[in-house]
Amino acid sequence: MNTDFTRSLVRNLAVVAALTLTTTAAHADLTGDLFGDDVFGEIVGGPGAFVVVPPNAIVGGGIEFVIEFVGTPAFNVDIGASSVHLFSVFGAQISTGAGEVLVLSDLDGLLGDFEIVGITNFMTNQGPDITESDVTWTAHSISINMSPHIWDANGFVSFDIVKVPAPSVLALLGVAGLIGSRRRRRS
């Protein structure tokens, strides 16, 4: 293979890897995901009195969606760059039924660049009714067991998402490292 061609190819691959890694590092959170396109919320189970009403909102711009109880706003859900905040807006105590779970899915970042490995900084004012164990996760989703709980008028649940780079990002880091080490050896 032509040496000039090989050098040009290595240089171009290094530039592409560097640009991709820079973009990935800048967007390794949920900010910018379009709710209803990349991030979904739904209530599964229970009697069906609670319904997710999604506005066309970009994650990180405030309240992403509302959970209504028989047509009346009951909860607001705010998804931040690495956090989830669920808070009651019903104005009075409200009871969630047995089996109702809020599922937030496709939480993988704008570029699919991370996986969820846990939660931290769990906070609530719901006393013993809802605990950290009511929040479960997979690589790209979070589930909050909302039942059966009596939510206070100002009730909230808040936590941060713990995430790691997705395998594809780690592979790209490896390729960039190989390219960089090869270029250093030649110098």
Residue 137 shares a structural domain with residue 69: yes
Calpha distance 56→152 (Å, rounded) = 28
Give the residue numbers spanning the domain of 87.
40-166
Same domain, 158 and 75: yes
Clarify whether residues 76 and 159 are in a common domain.
yes
Other beta carbons within 10 Å of 137: 19
Give the pLDDT mean for 61-74: 84
Domains identified in the chain, total number: 2
SS3 21: helix
In a domain, 33, yes or no: no
**90-122 per-position pLDDT tens digit:** 989 988 888 888 888 877 766 667 888 999 999
Are the C-beta atoms of 132 and 177 separated by less than 8 Å?
A: no
Between 15 and 166, name the one with better pLDDT: 166
* Residues 13-41: tens digit of each pLDDT: 555 444 444 333 434 567 766 655 445 67
